[in-house]
Amino acid sequence: MKAPSSHPSQTLDSGRSSLVLRLRSGRLSLRLDGRTFILTLVLLGLIASLAVLSLLSGKYPIAPSQVLWTLAGRGEDMVRMIVVEWRLPRVALAILLGAALGTSGAIFQSLTRNPLGSPDIIGFSAGSYTGALLVILMASGGYCETALGALVGGIVTATAVYLLAWREGVQGFRLIIVGIGVAAMLSAFNAWMIREADLQVAMAAAIWGAGSLNGLGTEQLRPVALALCILLPLTLLLSRPMRQLELGEEIACASGVNAGRSRLLLMVLGVALTALVTATAGPISFIALCAPQIARRLTRSSGVALLSSGLTGGLLLLSADWAAQHALGQQLPVGVMTVSIGGFYFLFLLIREGRK
């Protein structure tokens, strides 16, 4: 057995070059194969480039050099107000919320071992939306109350779906079928609540329900960033048990993984990530569904990777938000664009399966 080292080591894993980093304690290690490492750098570069494009785009056009000077703290006051105070928080929120959706989708697709196992398909997003709507329509709650309602709604829905799908264990396909049914019922209930509410409140709730980053700023960015600083590292710490669970519960238990506890923790983290997005920007569809599968095809990995899925989700939501603001000549909710992305994704899958 090799002694643990604090220095990176280059190894070969199934014919693919890997970079392995281990701490001196030997309890924590990070493995990145060469293709995943290159893809991570490419995704970061694309996100940075698109972020700069988003910062310079708008009714008040700004040159790229002015954006860079402003970010360096040397811009004019007017440009600084537009870039730093108005546009930058929205760009940062798009990246962070997209990363949360991509990571959440990766968790549930891994647990169900099915590419349809994303929170917006199996009802968890609808449950978070129901909890948030109850707070908005009945208690006129603010951001913190809405976030708590979304989290409780998501957890209650996840528990109900899990119990309804239980038959001496939970199979991924049964969980998806039960989740689709629960999502349909909750969507009907949400539509009824909006219909019965006061007109002004109902219109605001319906616009928010489309999924939108309009009007969001520093006030929402700070709690989102703080929450993700807690949720994302906890999720990455559970990446190894998650990959072991993909091989089956018996193999996971034989390798020393507590399958029940790991699955429960992963589900709670996935629901919390979904609820955070729903409470902040409303239910944004298809990012959690598309991002993990796109990342998996780009990395050509056998399983769903959390890091690449999160980065892909951030890139997709940032792209959709830029298109919603500038591509069609009028500002639209970002949820409209993500639904379009999801439609093209399903069309691609149909064509791909047809060719097979």
Mean pLDDT of the chain: 82
Angle at 298 between CA 296 and CA 301, to 5 degrees: 45
Name the more confident of 71 and 130.
Answer: 130
Helices (H) and strands (E) in the chain, counts: 15, 3
CB-CB neighbours of 14 under 10 Å? 7
pLDDT of residue 313: 94
**pLDDT at residue 31, as a whole number:** 58
pLDDT of residue 173: 75
Q: How far apart are the first and last CA of the chain?
A: 45
CB contact at 8 A, 241 and 303: no
Digit-coded pLDDT (tens) for 292-312 = 988 988 888 777 788 999 999
Residue 5, pLDDT above cutoff 50: no
Angle at Cα 35 formed by Cα 34 and Cα 40, nearest 5°? 100
172-200 mean pLDDT: 87
Map tokens 């007109």 to a residue.
199
243 pLDDT more than 60? yes
pLDDT on residue 212: 87
What's the rounded mean pLDDT across residues 118-128?
A: 86
pLDDT at 25: 45
Least confident of 32-36, 234-238, 287-291: 32-36
pLDDT at 43: 93
Model pTM? 0.85
337 pLDDT more than 50:
yes
Write out the H or E segment, with its range, that includes residue 32.
Answer: strand 29-33
